[in-house]
Each structure stands twice: as structure tokens, then as C-alpha cells.
A and B are shown apart, each in its own frame.
Chain A
Amino acid sequence: METSRAEYTKHIQEVVYTPDAHLGFGWHVWREMARELIQSRELMWRLFLRDLSARYRQSVFGYVWAVMPAIVTVVTFTYLKSSGTLPIGETNIPYPAYVLLGMSVWQLFATGLTRTTQSLVQARDIITKINFARETLVLAAFGESIFNFLIRIVLIGVVFAWFRVVPAWTIIFVPFVLIPLALMTVGFGFILSIANGVFRDIGNSLTLVLTFAMFLTPVIYPPPTQWPKVLINYLNPISPFIIATRDLITKGTLSQPDELLWVSVFSLIVFLVAWRIFHLAMPRIAERV
């Protein structure tokens, strides 16, 4: 204990809180943000475990709930398509597998966004009482979405095996598509969580907006080819990720490489800018959340 104390004392830093010191986009602020995040990686992991075990405790089906929404959607749309209610074009793999794949990626984004948006408000208790890197709350909330996604991968594997679909070798590139998607989700999450801290309306309307947005994304139908619907592939920032994931798993080629590149760059920018805004806004949020 003595040694750790002495060691610690060496690193004592002086902090000055003034009204304007935290403003601006200066380089030192980025360094401070990165340091803070690295220091609190363990906290992030703890919070993630906490949310996870708290969510599925006192529940009979436990982790099955992580895949339930996907299964229900897949069953619904498979039925709607086979009964001819919804005119959905032919897909290159059996439709249930096709929808499941699209839904899984979409849910990684949608669940992530919902959870991150709520994360600050749910933790208002600690935000207003303890000083720590609040980014961890948002990231831990997104972690839950990743966890759900990983469980769904198992389901996807089962469904693919059932329909005897063999994925293309390019499946190994899928993570490189999902990382920018994750960055974009967390970026939006940063912004929406502070917005939700000030205006609760954001969180309340998000579920509605996301349900609607899902139909503007090629999740349950193949990417449209006709004008004006084809705009969905270009203007919706989520579409390229979903299309690319499907392409890599089922076709082995990318149908929209340029778009994918642009959205990836865009998502990196969104992430960095949002993170910075989040960092700046934190003291204000602690006042008002």
C-alpha cells in the first residue's frame, strides 16, 4: 500500500476549474480525452457487465431476449412475403436468412442508438454526484448492442446451416465494415444522449423514428434499383453498411465500394466531432440532466 501511495503521489496533477478552460478544439484537449478514456477502460467493462447482468437477471429466458426482436421480425416479414402481402423482389439467398442478416446489422445500429441515447439520463444519479469519464456510460451502453449482435451471429450461423447457404470467403472483411458503423452509432449516440439530457423528447421519439427509418433502409428488401427509390442506397448513411455486409457474405464482391468509403470517412468524422462535443457539454449536462 505504501509503495502504491508513493508511486501515485509522483503523478499528482493539479487541476484548475475555470469557466472557460474547457472550451475550444485544441490539441491538448484531445490528448486529455484519450487519456481519460484509456484510464477508464476498466470502468467501461464494469458498467457493461453491470447493465448486462442486471438486464437479464430475474428473467426466465435470459439472453434469448437478445435475439427475440430479430426472430419476430424475420418471422413476420417472411410470412408477409410468402403470402404475397408485401411485394418484395427476389433475393439471392433464401429470404429468412436474407432478412435476418439485414436485421442483425440494422439492430446493431438501432439498439445501440436507443441504449446510448438513454444512457446518460438513466445514470443521472451518478452523473450529478460523481466525477468520472462519462464517455464510459455511452460506450458501455453500446457494448450491450455489440453483445446482442454477437448472440445473433450464432442465430445467423444456425439459419445459414439450415438453408445450406455457404458464405463467401470475403466474410472475413465484414468487421472492417462494422467498425465504421459502430463509430457512427457511438457518434450519434454521444450527440443524442446529451440532447436527451436536455430535451427528453429525443429519447421518446427515437423508437418511432427508428421504426420508420428501418423501412428507408434496405433491411427487409433488397437494395432498390429504380429511381427515386435508389436514393435510399446513397442518402441513408446506414444503407451502405448493410448492403456491404450482405455483399461480402453472400456475393463476394462489393456493389457500392465508393459509397462505403465515403460513409466510413463520414462516420469517423461524426465520431470524433461528437466525442468532442460530448466532452465539452458534460459539465452543462451535470447541471441539467
Chain B
Amino acid sequence: MWYGFHDILRDTAGLRSQSDRLRRKEFWAVDDVSFELKKGETLGIIGPNGAGKTTLLKMLNGIIIPDKGNLRIKGRVGALIQIGAGFHPQLTGRENIYINGAILGMGKREIDKKFDAIVEFADIGDFLDTPVKHYSSGMFVRLGFAVAIHCELDILVVDEILAVGDTAFRRKSSERMKELIMDGNTSIILVSHNMQTVEAIADRAILLNGGKMLYSGNVNDVVAEYDLLMRPRHRERVGASQGAPLKKGGLELVKKYDGYAGDEVSIRGVWLESADGECRTRFSSNEDVAVCVSYKNCSNITIQHGFVWVTFINEYNVNCMGARLRLGEHGTPSILPESCILRVWFRPLQLATSNYKIAIHFFDKTFLVPYSTGHYGYVKVVNDIPTITPGVKSPVCWPPCEWNLDTSLGKEDRKT
């Protein structure tokens, strides 16, 4: 409250507001976010709740002025930050169309001309002359959206509005937005938590989290990134000293079953390599990936015909996929070398989008005596097809398959 008073006083006096510095308990709602949008382009802004999306939109709309940095906008900006803002509950739909239109910058003649189109789009039928307080929430939103979408805007800023309304209306709204995009005159900035909407409408997207821009680029990539961000994270940790990775870019030990396995085999490092030998913690499904384990046999035991297990555990603790080596098979020596770097290739990785831990186990030949067990994490895998539709779920794996579309049968059917 006092900050507000102070800011207004300084602005009035023409002093620099000093607002580029944070005061006690303040934070940057949007920090260091840059993007450019050209005419006719569509940008999606996605991110978890409280990421700063709405604040960014308010700045784009000129409702609030940034305390640092600048925004350069050419053209008439209209924001659908809240649908039906300015609707007066006592007044009828017809009166509110005129008021809302005027607030959004339309003149009376412009509204008169578009009145029928607005009413038709809103599909409120006989309720046109009923006070909007009696409207269902769907009708309220439809009317608000109908008015806003009929303004001739250069830049349309849409904040999470297609989430409301029924499927038919949502489809109609998306279509109308696509129409605007097709005309090439309107740029759209879209904020939504519905990734399908974003993917359907936007070309590019930025991902915000905690006011920072995490990612910017092609909409599919950004949506995949968001998908990853929204997944539950495992926060099991062992002692920091134990968990520190030995190799740069290597994985940390996140879980160890103490007392079950001896430390006969000591793991010195676990990391993942791509086909070109690059060490990363982020891969896409269709990449070739090698899991690399550097170990040392610290005991005097000779491990002959023992087993090495490598499995991927996803965020729901499902062991999705793995590889098992029995020493002596696949051209490996039957006795485990005292120390070496072991590589197992997954060609391609095949896994669906998730944060994975990698479980690495060494066993004796009976598979009863563990020499080393541990979970190492985390590895992000991104698959570029996100699925949100109910009833459509990603499998845990996308193995390389052979497809065959045999059309011969169909042709014969038609002949007969």
C-alpha cells in the first residue's frame, strides 16, 4: 500500500521511479523475457500457475508499465484477459454488447454493423434482452468472447478463455481464431493450459516459470518441455557426498538399498552418451543412447558369468525398459574386468516423455548375490507427441516397428 503511494508520488514529481530495484518482499513477476512477434504470427505462452503469464499480458496491453526493459507494439492491441470484464449484471445482453464494445474501443456504428454477427456467434438466442446476471456461465463467456473477437484488432491477446464453454463453442472459437490468422492481419498471443489448443493455434511458444523464460521456440518443442516440467519429480536423495557425480554431465546416485548389496563393485560414474559421444541428461525418444557405467571391483572376488542390469525407471516408478548382460554372452569376457567403462546402447532409446532414473545392478551368476545396486538420475526424455486427450495415453516405450499397409485385399473387395 505504501509502496503504491510512494510510486505515484514519484511518478507525479517526474522522478525516476527507482522501480528497477526490488524493495522488501517484492519479486520480479516477469524477468528477462524477450520475444518478437511479427504480423500474422501466433505465439503461445505457457507455464505453470503463477509463472507470470498474465502479468506479461497486462504489460503487452499497457495496463501496467514494466519497471525495467521495454515493449514495442505496433497496432491496436486487444486483450481478452478476462471475458466479460465490464459486463454489468443488471443490464441485458444487448446493452452489455454495446458497453463492452465501447470499452474495447469500438464505436456505435461499428457495433451496429457487427451486432448480428456477435449475437449469432454468442448463440444466446432468446436471452439477448435478459439481464446477464441470469445467464449461465457458459452464455456469459460466449457473449464476452463474441464481442471481443469481433473487434478488428492487430494483436489479439487471449488469456485462458477457451477452457470455458462447451466443446462446440471451443471449436467455434478456435476456428474463428484460425480465420483471423489466415487473413494474415492479426497476430495472436495465446495463453493456455490446454496444450492441444496451443499446438493447434500457435506457431511458436515460450515457456515461463517463476517469471523466467525457460524455453522459446517451435510450439511442439515448447509444449513437450512444458509437459516435462509438469510431471511429478522425485526428490529422493542420498548424502550429498555420495550423490556427487564423478563425471561432468554424469548422473547422481539418488537411491541405494543399503544393507542388501555389498560394495564389492564400486560405481564411479554413470552417464549417458549420444551417438556422437556427447554426454547429456536430455534426449529425444528416437535418438541412439548409450548408458555408460564406470566401475571398479574393490574386492578379491572374481565375478564369473555374473549379471549386469541396466533399467530405466520413470517418474511413476515403473521399470519401463532395460538391458541385461550375462557375462560371457554378446562377445563379452566371462570374467568381469577389475575396472572398465561399460557401455550399453539403446538404438533408439524408444522411451516416452518422462524423467527417468537408471537402475544399475551387478549380480553373481546365481542372480542371488548383489554386488552393487543403485538408482542414478535424472535423465529427461522428450517425445514430441504430447497426449492430453482422455483415453489416449502414451505407452512407456515406442520401439522401432515395421509397418505394412496391404491394400490388395481392399481392391479385391471393391471388385466383387
Q: Establish whether residues B11 and A23, one from each chain, have CB atoms under 8 Å apart when the complex forms.
A: yes
Q: Establish whether residues B74 and A14, one from each chain, have CB atoms under 8 Å apart when the complex forms.
A: yes
Q: Establish whether residues A286 and B64, one from each chain, have CB atoms under 8 Å apart when the complex forms.
A: yes
Q: Is the CB of B91 closer than 8 A to any CB of chain A?
A: yes
Interface of B is mostly: loop
Q: Is the CB of B294 closer than 8 A to any CB of chain A?
A: no
Using known A-B contacts A13-B74, A198-B8, A199-B5, determine if residue A53 contacts B81 with beta carbons closer than 8 Å.
no
Using known A-B contacts A130-B104, A288-B4, determine if residue A12 contacts B79 with beta carbons closer than 8 Å.
no
- In the bound complex, residues from chain A placing their C-beta under 8 Å from that of B399 are none
CB-contacts of B38-85 with A (<8 A): 58-59, 61-77, 79, 81-82, 85
Which residue in B61, B72, B81, B113 is a CB contact (below 8 Å) of A14?
B72
Q: Is the CB of B164 closer than 8 A to any CB of chain A?
A: no
Q: Is the CB of B171 closer than 8 A to any CB of chain A?
A: no
Please give me the residue from chain B that is nearest to A12 by CB atom.
B75
Q: Establish whether residues A19 and B85, one from each chain, have CB atoms under 8 Å apart when the complex forms.
A: no
Please give me the residue from chain B that is nearest to A11 by CB atom.
B76
Cα distance, A129 to B78, chains bound together (Å): 10
Using known A-B contacts A16-B72, A125-B85, A284-B4, determine if residue A54 contacts B90 with beta carbons closer than 8 Å.
yes
Q: Establish whether residues A58 and B102, one from each chain, have CB atoms under 8 Å apart when the complex forms.
A: no
* Nearest CB of A to B18, in Å: 10
Cα distance, A287 to B102, chains bound together (Å): 23
Q: How many residues of B contact A (CB 8 A)?
A: 55
CB-contacts of A1-58 with B (<8 A): 1, 4-5, 8, 12-20, 22-25, 42-43, 46-47, 50, 53-54, 57-58
* Nearest CB of A to B258, in Å: 53
Which of A106-114, A225-233, A254-262, A275-283 faces chain B? Answer: A275-283
Q: Establish whether residues B7 and A16, one from each chain, have CB atoms under 8 Å apart when the complex forms.
A: no
- In the bound complex, residues from chain B placing their C-beta under 8 Å from that of A287 are 4, 64
Using known A-B contacts A50-B95, A132-B103, determine if residue A284 contacts B67 with beta carbons closer than 8 Å.
no
Q: Is the CB of A128 closer than 8 A to any CB of chain B?
A: yes
The 8 A CB mask of B84-107 against A (1 = contact, 0 = none) is 011010110001001100111101
Q: Establish whether residues A129 and B95, one from each chain, have CB atoms under 8 Å apart when the complex forms.
A: no
Q: Establish whether residues A130 and B63, one from each chain, have CB atoms under 8 Å apart when the complex forms.
A: yes
Which residue in A13, A20, A47, A50 is a CB contact (below 8 Å) of B17?
A20
Q: Is the CB of A194 closer than 8 A to any CB of chain B?
A: yes
Please give me the residue from chain B that is nearest to A134 by CB atom.
B63
Q: Establish whether residues A4 and B152, one from each chain, have CB atoms under 8 Å apart when the complex forms.
A: yes
* Nearest CB of A to B348, in Å: 47
Q: Establish whether residues B103 and A22, one from each chain, have CB atoms under 8 Å apart when the complex forms.
A: no
Which B positions have Cβ atoms within 8 angstroms of A?
Answer: 1, 4-5, 7-8, 11-12, 14-17, 19-20, 58-59, 61-77, 79, 81-82, 85-86, 88, 90-91, 95, 98-99, 102-105, 107-108, 110, 113, 131, 152, 154, 185
Query: 22 A-B pairs, CB-CB below 8 angstroms?
Result: A12-B154, A15-B74, A16-B71, A16-B73, A17-B62, A17-B66, A17-B71, A18-B69, A19-B67, A22-B11, A23-B17, A50-B88, A50-B95, A53-B90, A54-B91, A125-B82, A130-B86, A131-B79, A284-B11, A285-B4, A286-B63, A288-B1
Instruction: Rank and list the top 4 A-B pairs by shortest CB-CB distance, nearest first.
Output: A18-B70, A129-B85, A283-B65, A288-B4
Known: A13-B75, A50-B88, A130-B63; 14 extra A-B contacts, CB below 8 A, are A19-B17, A19-B19, A19-B20, A20-B17, A22-B11, A25-B14, A46-B103, A50-B91, A53-B95, A126-B85, A130-B85, A131-B61, A286-B63, A288-B4
